[in-house]
Structure 1
Amino acid sequence: MNKNASRQFGDRTAALLDREAIAAWIFLAPALVLLGVFVFWPIAYLGALGFTSGSFTVEGARWVGLRNYARLILDPDFWQVLGNTAYFTIATLVPSLVVPLMLAVLLDRAIALRDWLRTAYFLPSIASLVAVGLGWRWLFQNRGPVNEVLLAMDIEPIPWLNSTAWAMPVLILLAIWKQLGFNLVVFLAGLQSIPQSRYEAATLDGAGEVGRFWHVTLPGLRPTLVFATITTAIFTLRNFEPVYIMTGGGPLNSTNILVYFVYEEAFARFDFGYAAAAATVLLAIAFVLVYWQLRAWGEE
């Protein structure tokens, strides 16, 4: 009797789990369809397009195998673009994490001004990149306000956007300024989720400000740091509008990053297969960065 009851209970449980699984798949189906249509299918089509040459249409494309990737390997401009992309990404990523983290730690104590300052810092994150790019182009033009300030200080004006040495730092500064507010809000939310008892325990153990930051704040912000690092890296890799508006990849290809290189090959030279191969490399770089960050920062 007990065996029969156990068997019946197991059958009912399995049936219930089956019904729950079916219900879960039903609720997930719309999202999976949207992901398939707007994410997985375009990625698959991009990968296939990288092995072709010709027009965007299926009828106009012809199979060329790995020829586009061989062109990338032999193209010195592509390697310069990869170097520019690495420089731009690293120089943007590190300050975009360190500066807002320090500001968040300070603002977490300024209870009276926290909400106002958080809003003020976040405003650049919701501003249009096109409008921001035009504004920064005006600021850093040869006779712009920045050079006027330098002249007032008896400093020789700098051709910011026409200099191979200064054009990229201006773009990096813009990218940091644009991302700072978003990361600041993320870090503030992460700080408020750390239990105050941990800080009290660390203080009782004799830890100072630096000790509490290294042994309480940073470990408590680990998931937040993972999220902020991944989102900042992705934002940096797809940072197209400022390059298009402010420098056009110049001067002398010094600010041409991979996403702008893909645009030029596809819509200026209409070499869609070659552009798709470069875009596939960009996608692979993004996947590798995300995987590495999850392995380095994420929990097991």
Structure 2
Amino acid sequence: MKKPRLPSMQMLDNDTVAAWIFLTPALILLILFIIWPIAYLFYLSFTAGSFTSTGIYLVGFKNYWRLFLNADFWQVIFNTTYFTLGSLVPSLVIPLGLAVLLNRSLALRGILRSVYFLPSIISLVAAGLGFRWLFQNTGPVNGLLNFFDIPPISWLSDTFWAMPVIILFSIWKQIGFNMVVFLAGLQAIPLNHYEAAELDGANSWQQFWHVTLPGLRPTLIFTTVTTAIFTLRSFEPVYVITGGGPLNSTNLLVYYTYQEAFGQFDFGYAAAVATVLLVVTLVLVYFQLRTWGEG
């Protein structure tokens, strides 16, 4: 009678060993470039000092307490929330509408796909410089307003209008990528679902609400999460277009971290800001997955 294999022996069978051999390079890269940097960032947030001969030293929760008492930090939190909410919804609704239109048989569908996707492959810095030129006081946007006898607007030096320019840039960059993803999701929905809904007397809006949206649930989860992450990590638009101004009105968490780390060389405080950003991102993604994953 064949003896049963011990659990320790089952863990070392040929398939398991082969799996670990193939997984080891990826695990090493994961540890080196993701897990270790996050762990070191968390450690650094409890320190002060600099990477010089003086070195760094532990200060406990002092950096987090400074965050709590810093009015600039709360202004940045408000800016980031405003920017994220203002960018996220249009970056999903507009591409979804375009995808539904382009999914139909249009003569110029291929050309329109390329045109809408073009902003996604343009350099963020180059696109940011373009937006800065468009919205400067003597730029084409104010020139167009002047053509219609509308007073010019100080887009980039006004605390009310500067953030909408950054939000518009973020939406413009995300439209093409999200549209292509939605198009792929739409083409994966079986046509017989629409035919059955049409036979039941459903109009175009009812078909969209009861067939298209449920069929796009996985795609919506993916685009919502990726768009939220892209929005929260936005740095180049702020750096190139406004520099966080005017009066700190467009300063976002990533740019604020950059300022504290490489402008003030306060790496412990900057690490605390980055840790807060990481936690906010994880919480936001978690609730998005929970919300879209229900049902």
Instruction: Please classify the TM superposition score into its range, dividing by the shorter chain length.
Output: over 0.9
Counterpart residue number, 1:78: 73
1:192-216 deviation per Cα after TM superposition (whole angstroms, max 9, x unaligned): 0011111111111111111111111
Q: Distance in 1 between matches of 2:75 and 2:46?
A: 23
Read off the aligned partner of 2:234 and give its amino acid letter.
N
Deviation at 1:133, TM superposition (A): 0.6
Deviation at 1:224, TM superposition (A): 0.4
Q: Which runs of 5+ in 2 are unaligned?
A: none
RMSD of aligned Cα (Å) = 1.9
1:262-286 deviation per Cα after TM superposition (whole angstroms, max 9, x unaligned): 0000000000000000000000011
Equivalent position to 1:114, from 109, 117, 125: 109
Deviation at 1:58, TM superposition (A): 9.5
Counterpart residue number, 1:173: 168
Deviation at 1:27, TM superposition (A): 1.1
> For 1:53, what is the secondary structure of its paired residue?
strand
Counterpart residue number, 2:144: 149
Counterpart residue number, 1:89: 84
Q: Distance in 1 between matches of 2:224 and 2:148?
A: 38
> For 2:13, what is the secondary structure of its paired residue?
helix
Read off the aligned partner of 1:129 and give its amino acid letter.
L
1:278 maps to 2:273: yes
Read off the aligned partner of 1:269 and give its amino acid letter.
Q
Deviation at 1:26, TM superposition (A): 1.4
> For 1:124, what is the secondary structure of its paired residue?
helix
Q: Distance in 1 between matches of 2:74 and 2:232?
A: 16
1:229 maps to 2:229: no
1:34 maps to 2:29: yes
TM value normalised by structure 1: 0.94
Equivalent position to 1:123, from 105, 110, 118: 118
Equivalent position to 2:194, from 199, 202, 215: 199
1:49-104 deviation per Cα after TM superposition (whole angstroms, max 9, x unaligned): 00000113696101000000000000011001000000000000000000000110
**Structure 1 residue runs of 4+, over 6 Å off?**
none
Read off the aligned partner of 2:224 and give its amino acid letter.
T
Counterpart residue number, 2:153: 158
Deviation at 1:19, TM superposition (A): 2.2
Read off the aligned partner of 1:82 and give its amino acid letter.
I
Task: Name the % identity.
Answer: 67
- State how many pairs are aligned: 294
Structure 1 residues 142 and 282: CA distance shift in structure 2, 3 A: same
Read off the aligned partner of 1:90 and give its amino acid letter.
L
Q: Which runs of 5+ in 1 are unaligned?
A: none
Counterpart residue number, 1:66: 61
Structure 1 residues 203 and 56: CA distance shift in structure 2, 3 A: farther
Q: Distance in 2 between matches of 1:175 and 1:144?
A: 20
Counterpart residue number, 2:244: 249
> For 2:48, what is the secondary structure of its paired residue?
strand
Structure 1 residues 104 and 71: CA distance shift in structure 2, 3 A: same
Deviation at 1:117, TM superposition (A): 1.1
Counterpart residue number, 2:13: 18
Q: Distance in 2 between matches of 1:204 and 1:57?
A: 74
Deviation at 1:114, TM superposition (A): 2.1
